[in-house]
Structure 1
């Protein structure tokens, strides 16, 4: 069986074949299915609006009274607060003077204790994006006024580790209860150590509060901050907003399930999609306990699991198919994030998130006002894992106020490049197909120039062969094959071991 090729004659990788089957009228077809395109294409929206400067200042002024009353020292970042012209985002900026225990940069009790300025800026940007979403979901009255309700407004940071997100949220929202849930006791001990200036051991009972679980601890210096030692599934208390930043593998899916179970809003930014494969360990559990309790079946949504295609044919997206998509979704090339290069891999990641979004929509279809959106961090460079799922169940908790979520077409480019690569112009009528999903324009120009120069120098020698160096990598070898093909030159590969593989181009025409 000959290898499958895309719209431009480039041989498709295994996961690209899966994507092609997902969106085609039938397996191995190169005709796009419009229904699949409508139902499976990820649609991004803009993040909820930030608090205005006046609202931010009012929030900080009110919280600062509590900070000073508890003797919480303002943060003194160890290193520059501007990286490549990018200042620390609110609330990690110098003007806010967040207490040291809630800062990311430097030592001296900072919850992050991150020394690298570049890494610290990225972490601050990630946290700032999630804080922005959470504050938009918190009702205005809760942000500014103490509540007389039987239970405080509760935000749960699942897989919260050492409290990178939970601590600043608790500092900014002193009238809200913030619970940091994690399976690693050591991580929670570190959070309490940095906040309270002491290591909390199992023998310390003074700071425990009444709960269904004996593993809930209360911070001494930030009394609205708690930690819960246990699995996401075992947390049984009610809450209003569930949040998680880069919870590994299926942990993000358990966060969504827990929020749906408790009828809470959610802000979920996932990580380690490759760990969703059936043959991979569940890292959230495995790294903490050595066990592998993979319990979620993928794909999760009915739309993905069985898509009614064109001509009454039914596509079945199997677990094996999803494994291929999930495996390549662990995209980590930050420098390519706004380039066509590797667009198919980023498109695969967005499909994993879209399956999650469709799952939440199917689970809340009986709730008329339930809404779920997919957005990206601002800026995208905050992380390669920059997709954020945001959901709410009533109009009262709409983070956009009385408005509807605003679509964000700037996030559609990767998926369109991937479709053009697979199907050509039929994926976007009137647009020119693009083929640079795996390489940059500069790389394509360099390879083309090298081949053109060699052809001019060997115009009369039909037996001449251009041998490219070994160790160029599969991506550039693929580019050489593609360039030679469109120029009508013969080309083939040599070498079995990766270190020996190369591409040869002949002056003879095809």
Structure 2
């Protein structure tokens, strides 16, 4: 039901995530697609990595039903479905992935992965929804805490959401820069507190999504 233009952008997004996961994956790995929705990422991974086990974790029942129907049509036998908030997922796995994890959902996925020393490939989204919670306080890293207050970090997050294609180019450029700073804060926090090597990159082409950052972490 997607327009051809949106379908192309979705394909490009998937290509970016899948290529990175493919580099990290080893036969027998368990890969968890958090906030999996209708299974766009997880189903592709199950198809191209038949020697790996793919687990979709999603809170919405209808989305998982749709994902199950799609995987059944393809005859996939290396894919599992769990309806739950990711806080309730306690499994052991090797790689965590999430496409457009909104607000602190990105931080929740990172936490799930670092708890079990799993690598992660995450595309964040909805920076304007980031706020302090019982589990997470912002800024995340020691370096950012030294120069930014919580209020200033929230301003940074609001500007990070200013990347819509209909906005003026200069405003989008500033928004993209702010996205990079928010995700750099996340990356530095994980590197220091969890002994990970973390990179912040962009999906290609950048036109595939206004929210095109990728945070890739590997335990060291």
Task: Please state which band the TM-score falls in when normalised by the shorter chain.
Answer: over 0.9
SS at match of 2:89: coil
Q: Is it true that 1:355 corresponds to 2:185 in the alignment?
A: yes
Partner of 1:417: none
| TM-superposed deviation, 1:298 | 1.1
2:55 to 176, 179, 197: 179
- Judging by fraction of residues, say which structure has more strand: 2
**What SS is found at the alignment partner of 2:215?**
strand
Q: Considering fraction of residues, name the structure with more helix.
A: 2
TM-score by length of 1: 0.41
Residue number in structure 2 paired with 1:346: 176
Correspondence 1:161 to 2:37 = yes
The reply to whether residue 128 of structure 1 matches residue 128 of structure 2 is: no
For the Cα contact (< 8 Å) 2:13–2:203, is it kept in 1?
yes
Unaligned runs of 5+ in 1: 1-113, 143-151, 198-219, 279-292, 307-314, 395-510
Q: 2:129: which partner in 1?
A: 275
Distance (whole Å) between structure 2 residues aligned to residue 387 and residue 268 of structure 1: 8
Q: Deviations over 1:446-498 (max 9, x none)?
A: xxxxxxxxxxxxxxxxxxxxxxxxxxxxxxxxxxxxxxxxxxxxxxxxxxxxx
Question: 2:58 aligned with 1:228, yes or no?
Answer: no
* Among 98, 108, 120, the residue aligned to 1:244: 98
Tell me the distance in 2 between the aligned counterparts of 1:232 and 1:303: 28
- Out of 143, 151, 159, the residue aligned to residue 320 of structure 1 is 151
- The alpha-carbon deviation at position 277 of structure 1 amounts to 3.4
- Is the 1:182–1:230 Cα contact (8 Å) retained in structure 2? yes
SS of equivalent residue, structure 2 residue 86: coil
2:104·2:131 contact (CA, 8 Å) conserved in 1?
Answer: no
**Contact residue 157 and residue 166 of structure 1 kept, 8 A:** yes
Asked if 1:254 corresponds to 2:108, the answer is yes
Aligned residues: 220
Larger of the two Rg values belongs to structure = 1
**Contact map agreement 1:244 1:268 (CA 8 A) in 2:** yes
C-alpha distance in structure 1 between counterparts of 2:164 and 2:38, whole Å: 26
Q: 2:140 maps to what in 1?
A: 300
Task: Output the CA distance in 1 between the equivalents of 2:56 and 2:134.
Answer: 22
In 2, the alpha carbon distance for the partners of 1:194 and 1:155 equals 18
Distance 1:161 1:244 in 2: 10
CA distance in 1, matches of 2:17, 2:134: 27
Answering whether residue 24 of structure 2 is matched by residue 137 of structure 1, we say yes
Equivalent positions of 1:413-424 (< 5 A) are none
Runs of 4+ that moved beyond 6 A? none
Backbone CA RMSD of aligned residues: 1.9
Matching of residue 115 in structure 1 with residue 2 in structure 2: yes
